[in-house]
Amino acid sequence: MIRWSFQVFAALVLLSIAAGCGSSGSSIPRESATVIATPDPTDKATERPPATYAAPTLPPLTLLPSLPSNDLDAKTAAALQAILNRHVETGQPDVLAAVITPAGTWSSAAGVDGPQGRLANPTDVFTVASVSKTILAAAIVRLASAGTIDLDSPLADYLNDLQVDSNGATVRQALAMRSGIPDTPSQVLSDARHDCEHVWTRAEILAAMPAPDNAPGTAFVYSNPTYKLLAYATEGATGRPMADVLANEVFEPLALDRIVAMSADTPAPQPWALPIEGHGGDLPLASFGIGGTLPCLSVSTLATPALAIASDAPTLARFGWGLFSGGLFDHDTLVEMLTPDAVGHGLGIDKLPEFSADGGYGLVGHNTGYVAWLVILPEHQTVVALCINDDNARAEIVVRQLIDVLSG
């Protein structure tokens, strides 16, 4: 079992679902994800004395059973489909969803998927955006359980000769978004969207990383650069490219056949889920899919393959089920990954009380033209994966309604 320790300071910001879920009018810059919680820049946690902190105790966690092989019954399927249809009727361009329960699986879609007016299909592939972080974290935790990585060693120990300031953060602190390294500057994101054919090199990515602005371990600060360093550290620890690590440690053990870490050499499988006019965010519709990746080559290569994962909804749901059924590591290791800090953040995965009083887990991701959710409810033995081709969509409402049908 991985060694477990948390030392956190006081003065954390309140988790804001409205901001974190890409509400209309938000000015938060997006790369592979939206900001889930942003500290007040005037709130310097390092100026305050440390507070004694004990991580909350998780509710008893029972692993999910084996993946069911049958479909959900027709009545439940019809009720789920009605939810997707209703959200399209009220203004969403499309909704793609998949659910898994012990009673069976279901996946479907509604709406128009792409500027040519093609009807959406549940096997359409989309960028899972920040949900990639949960997948990368699962790979790292699996490597830690095998002794390849020590979560409590400095991240720098695995970065080899990379010329980058990892701020003295440990691997665990980095996974928990407590590295002290801020998020990607807005200008860098704008540059990536301006030239979709550009392939970002590692040197360019490192040069664009912001300097640390907080002591490690002191506060949760959403940080895509931190997860890029985690990807590079994983390559350093294993001697393998990140895409191979994800395939070997996550995709292959769980038999996930329609999920890839996108790069200039690895396009997203087709058909693609694409936005329509008025829902493409900061990119013109013609730019989507440039270079074979989603939303386009420059944005995905800036993210690195580890944070540029594409999948369809059924495959993403199977990842969630496999993670919580012991397909990657044992029960105690999963509990360590899930145990949240004072505001609900685990190691690459969040506690989601808004979906279940008994304890739900998962992550939301936003990218230009996409919002994706992965929600796992262990007590209800339910997994929901969902995508809408509009990064301002209130997709959590759809997730909540699907869960209500399954639990009712």
Q: In terms of residue numbers, what domain contains 72? A: 17-407
What pLDDT does residue 8 have? 34
Pull the structure tokens for residue 182: 């801020």
Residue 11 belongs to some domain of the structure = no
What pLDDT does residue 57 have? 62
Q: Where in 29-72 does DSSP place strands (E)? A: none
Residue 378 belongs to some domain of the structure = yes
Residue 9 belongs to some domain of the structure = no
Pull the structure tokens for residue 38: 């942003």
Domain count, the chain: 1
Using DSSP bridges, classify how beta strands 382-388 and 370-377 pair: parallel, antiparallel or unpaired.
antiparallel
Q: How far apart are alpha carbons 399 and 382 in whole angstroms?
A: 11
Q: How far apart are alpha carbons 375 and 317 in whole angstroms?
A: 8
Q: How far apart are alpha carbons 277 and 280 in whole angstroms?
A: 7
Residue 79: CATH number of its domain: 3.40.710.10
What's the Cα-to-Cα distance from 356 to each of 36, 159, 281, 361, 407, rounded to whole Å? 19, 39, 31, 9, 10
How does DSSP classify residue 193? H
- Roughly what angle, to the nearest 10 degrees, separates helices 395-407 and 74-89? 160
Residue 8 belongs to some domain of the structure = no
Phi, psi of 75 (to 5 degrees): -65, -45
Residues 6+ apart with CB under 8 A from 99: 72, 80, 105, 106, 107, 317, 382, 383, 384, 385, 402, 406
Q: How far apart are alpha carbons 266 and 284 in whole angstroms?
A: 23
Residue 352 belongs to some domain of the structure = yes
Phi, psi of 267 (to 5 degrees): -75, 165
Instruction: Specify the pTM.
Output: 0.87
Q: How far apart are alpha carbons 293 and 265 in whole angstroms?
A: 10
Q: How far apart are alpha carbons 270 and 293 in whole angstroms?
A: 10
Pull the structure tokens for residue 365: 């991701």
Residue 49 belongs to some domain of the structure = yes
What pLDDT does residue 56 have? 55
Q: How far apart are alpha carbons 143 and 40 in whole angstroms?
A: 34
Q: How far apart are alpha carbons 319 and 256 in whole angstroms?
A: 7
Q: How far apart are alpha carbons 17 and 35 in whole angstroms?
A: 10
Which residue, chain included where needed, has tokens 């919002």?
371
Residue 24 belongs to some domain of the structure = yes
Q: Where in 31-179 does DSSP place strands (E)? A: 94-101, 104-111, 126-127
**Tens place of pLDDT for every residue, the chain, 408 residues?**
443 333 333 333 333 333 333 333 322 233 433 333 333 322 222 222 233 334 556 678 999 999 999 999 999 999 999 999 999 999 999 999 999 999 999 999 999 999 999 999 999 999 999 999 999 999 999 999 999 999 999 999 999 999 999 999 999 999 999 999 999 999 999 999 999 999 999 999 999 999 999 999 999 999 999 999 999 999 999 999 999 999 999 999 999 999 999 999 999 999 999 999 999 998 999 999 999 999 999 999 999 999 999 999 999 999 999 999 999 999 999 999 999 888 889 999 999 999 987 779 999 999 999 999 999 999 999 999 999 999 999 999 999 999 999 998
Pull the structure tokens for residue 45: 């946690």
Residue 243 belongs to some domain of the structure = yes
Task: Give SS3 for 380.
Answer: coil
What pLDDT does residue 343 have? 82
Amino acid letter, residue 101: T
Task: Give SS3 for 401.
Answer: helix
Which residue, chain included where needed, has tokens 């690195």?
304
